[in-house]
Amino acid sequence: MVYQKTIQKAVSVEGIGLHSGTRAHISFKPAPENTGIYFVRKDISGLPALRAQSRNVRATQMATVLGSELFAISTVEHCMSAIAALQIDNLFIELDGPELPIGDGSANCYFRALQEAAIVEQGALRKYYYVTQPIYFSQGDKYAYALPHNGYRLSCVIDFPHQKIGRQRIELDVNEHTFSRELSTARTFGFLKDVEALKKKGLALGGSLDNAVVLDERDVLNPDGLRYSDEFVRHKAMDAIGDLLMVGSPILGHIVLHKAGHDVMHGFVQKLLSAIDSYRIIELSSPLSYSSGFEDLYLRSQFG
């Protein structure tokens, strides 16, 4: 059987917020089984909390933002991608402000911290969203769709009119090992020409060459260059894994993305959740094997 997981001990990550430019500190803490992933604002009276799920997403411009009428939690996607890759189901994430630390612009600070916290199994079985029929969402020439698949596979294409980016594609089975090797250190990126406009909107105030790949009209400005020749699509894939966890549980399916940013990912997650005839909520009788068939699935569908 495949059981839910949390962490054994509390760990912290600190730095600055990419968009706020102010100090940011978070603590990961264990949570009981069947809790889910919760963000908690320690700096606000009453310690208000929000679950990381689609219905609590309030903005998708330049980052995924959770929020209520009273408070917001910004730039959660890198943290969520590390949680998804490590298959952590239950977690409290305490913040002392409105934004998570950006680290070096990748998910690596979160991924390493959670590994240090020691991941442990719990008593309840993990639930999955098992795609049974194609699910499609689009906005203009941008789209995302899901196909039935025995596992969690992601195909991602980006296309930017810049000579250092152009059209890039990556496809991989999503798990702890592929995430660590292929995606965890891929950094966020932006264009120098957009910086002033973003800052006027109160965005990218903490951005620098230390936490983002920055491009001018022709080249990458970072002195050390890129970590991968296709670092841009790797980062977009990493972002998508975090946004997909807003479904509320892991997905079993092949997710195909074309030029899909946070806005498209949010729309796709909402479409998936509403397509109740195209998925089942299941549990697994044994750890997933990509060489086996669906006979290994122990199905317990909430939809009969």
Cα-trace Rg, the chain? 19
- Residue type, position 135, single letter: I
And the tokens for 43?
A: 């700096």
Burial of residue 91, with CB atoms counted within 10 A of its CB: 0-12 exposed, 13-18 middle, 19 or more buried: buried
Given the residues 19, 78, 235, 262, the one annotated as active site: 262
Q: Is 266 marked active-site?
A: no
Q: How many distinct helices (H) and strands (E) make up the chain?
A: 6, 20
Q: Which of 165, 89, 99, 154 is nearest to 127 (CA)?
A: 89
User: Judging by DSSP bridges, how do beta strands 297-298 and 189-191 pair with one another?
Assistant: unpaired
| Tokens coding 185 | 């250190």
Amino acid, single-letter form, for residue 24: A
Any idea which residues carry the catalytic annotation? 262
